[in-house]
Amino acid sequence: MIKGLGTDIIEVNRIAEKIANDSGFKELVFSENEIEYCEKQKYKSEHYAARFAAKEAFFKALGTGWASGTHFNEIEIQRDAAGKPFLNFLGETKKTFAALQQQKISVSLSHTKTLATAVVIIED
């Protein structure tokens, strides 16, 4: 049964500007693994933006907004061997999410040169 559904869309240039001004935004929002992945991509801003959208969509799916005990850089978008994205939780966020006893999370990412979007479904 679906417990939560979240979606988000963001303009790629908004994320590109935040990353370019080197204010620590990248480290605040993205995990080390995400930064390493995105920096290797030809159009890195699109990949950063899609991951940002997934994190926003996740909080919407939870129904809580940005929940206490969670951090953006502890919600990590990884890819399995086939390239399918999935959410991985780190640190405090991993403990917070485990306490909610959710069983399955599906995530889908998409981006163009100008827009990035993500959908997250939480099931029990």
Tell me which of 62 and 60 has the higher pLDDT: 60
How confident is residue 114, by pLDDT bands cut at 50, 70 and 90? very high
pLDDT at 60 over 80: yes
Residues catalogued as catalytic: 60, 111
The DSSP result for the chain, as a single string, is -EEEEEEEEEEHHHHHHHHHTTSSHHHHHS-HHHHHHHHTSTTHHHHHHHHHHHHHHHHHHHTSSS-TT--GGGEEEEE-TTS-EEEEE-HHHHHHHHHTT--EEEEEEEE-SSEEEEEEEEE-
pTM, two decimal places? 0.91
